[in-house]
Structure 1
Amino acid sequence: MSDFFSDPDNVLVFDFDGVILDSAHLKREAFAALYDDQPQPLRRAVRAYLGRRGGQPREVKFRHIEAQILGRQADEASIDTLCRRFKADVEQRILATPAIPGALAFLDRHRGRLPIYLLSATPEHELREIVARRDLAGHFDEVIGSPPDKVTGLGQLLNRHGHRAGRTVMVGDSYNDYRAASSNGTGFVGVTADPAASPFPADVTTTLDLHGLEAALASWQRQASSSGVS
């Protein structure tokens, strides 16, 4: 069986926060901090929700928190205000946050060997600015943010470039990333620093960080080959 990177028909699609940059926890804390004025039970509920809902657009999270946890209606102007407060709080910290171990070396090693894309729930104009300022744009064939949601975004990516779902692997750190891959029939490798708290089904191939991504992709390829996926 050939190496994953020796086949030009194979495709990689990366999430951003928690996969390329070590920023997922930073963003969860910034979300939670916006509700520090709430009673402790509500603060705990907000944090519990944020711990389960990585990989979703911030507007979706704010609407859920406002309506389902705080029990109050929020119009578009209120959601927009929350989004702007969130962006202002995290913007500079995102620019300084370290990369996930192994991420930059992995991208350097495999740049140009096969199509590599970035797909994030971060608003696209903001994502492109961060990627450019972190000097990462040259590592990706396309940088895609929200809208749309990741399920739709991944499907549109496959159609736009004519990639086969069975030869495409999404690399993500949240269940929403896994759901995007499953909904589109692509492969998936999960990144989870704590396997005991993995959000993924037990049969999903995972890696602690991107130092182990080559081995994880080789494992995924063996499983796909044995199951006849192509």
Structure 2
Amino acid sequence: MTDGSRSTLQLLRTAKLVFWDFDGVIKDSVSVKTQAFERLFLPYGREVASKVREHHEANGGMSRFDKMPVYLQWAGQEVTEASVQKFCDRFSELALQAVIDAPWVSGVHAYIERHHREQPFVLVTATPQAEIETILTATGIAQCFREVHGSPTTKTAAIADTLARWQLDPGATVFVGDASADLAAAKTNQVTFVLRRTPLNERLRDGFAGPSFDDLEAGS
């Protein structure tokens, strides 16, 4: 076991509640969503598709409903509530099964399965609420989370609301994420942030001195 995973496990085990992001933290599914965005906008040219890809990779944790108006503008499409919803629905069709089929982040699935009965876990994600519920059911881990908060609820709001209702000291909880939006939500709520290191968050890693890991040991 690496020092990073060992210290992360110690931190997780002592937390009164653990907030989890999903993509890039529980499932290695960030790349499949990148591919879905690229496929969605490839009909508008490779330059647009490449620009969409780069923006998506640089803005992990940002809701697709916030990204889509920007991408539609780049594609020269009208930005309306209906057009945003249409493209978000098409994105979901491209990405849903791919996310379900994506590999688990090593050790995280085992930790969640092993400890969810004695330690409360709350999922906070930018994925739409109905979609993340479908994914959790399909992957067999829905029962592992006391609460699930998806879009349109923001991660910052979901964490704040949970802390208030559970009457918990923020410092006694942990948020495991992989993106700058996750770090910002943790900081705003004074929750300890644990960074799951990925090839896409190198810039975030460079400026982050807190606990981090690549994967957790499967026997944890």
Please indicate, yes or no, whether the TM-score normalized by the shorter chain is above 0.5: yes
Distance, in Å, in 2 between the alignment partners of 1:33 and 1:204 is 36
For residues 8-47 of structure 1, the C-alpha deviation after alignment (integer angstroms, 9 at most, x for no partner) is: x622100011111111111111012111123333333212
Q: Which residue is 1:10 aligned to? A: 16
For residues 180-216 of structure 1, the C-alpha deviation after alignment (integer angstroms, 9 at most, x for no partner) is: 101111100111133982424231321112339x7xx
Q: Which residue is 1:93 aligned to? A: 98
Distance, in Å, in 2 between the alignment partners of 1:211 and 1:12 is 17
Distance, in Å, in 1 between the alignment partners of 2:54 and 2:152 is 25
Using structure 1 for the length normalisation, give the TM-score: 0.83
Matched, 1:179 2:189: no
- The answer as to whether partners of 1:66 and 1:73 remain within 8 angstroms in 2 is yes
Q: How many residues align?
A: 209
Which of 74, 80, 86 does residue 75 from structure 1 map onto? Answer: 80
Matched, 1:62 2:106: no
Task: Give RMSD over aligned pairs.
Answer: 2.1
Q: Which residue is 1:138 aligned to? A: 143
Q: Which residue is 2:6 aligned to? A: none
Unaligned runs of 5+ residues in structure 1 are: 215-230
Aligned-pair CA distance for 1:125: 1.3
Q: Which residue is 2:7 aligned to? A: none
Distance, in Å, in 1 between the alignment partners of 2:90 and 2:166 is 36
Matched, 1:25 2:18: no
Q: Which residue is 2:204 aligned to? A: 199
- Greater relative contact order (Cα 8 A, min sep 6): structure 1 or 2? 2
For residues 124-151 of structure 1, the C-alpha deviation after alignment (integer angstroms, 9 at most, x for no partner) is: 1111121112110121111111111111
Which of 24, 27, 44 does residue 38 from structure 1 map onto? Answer: 44
Q: Relative to 1, partners in 2 of residues 1:93 and 1:196: Cα closer, same or farther, differing over 3 Å? A: closer
Using structure 2 for the length normalisation, give the TM-score: 0.86
| More moved, 11-20 vs 71-80 | 71-80
Distance, in Å, in 1 between the alignment partners of 2:157 and 2:12 is 26
Q: Relative to 1, partners in 2 of residues 1:41 and 1:143: Cα closer, same or farther, differing over 3 Å? A: same
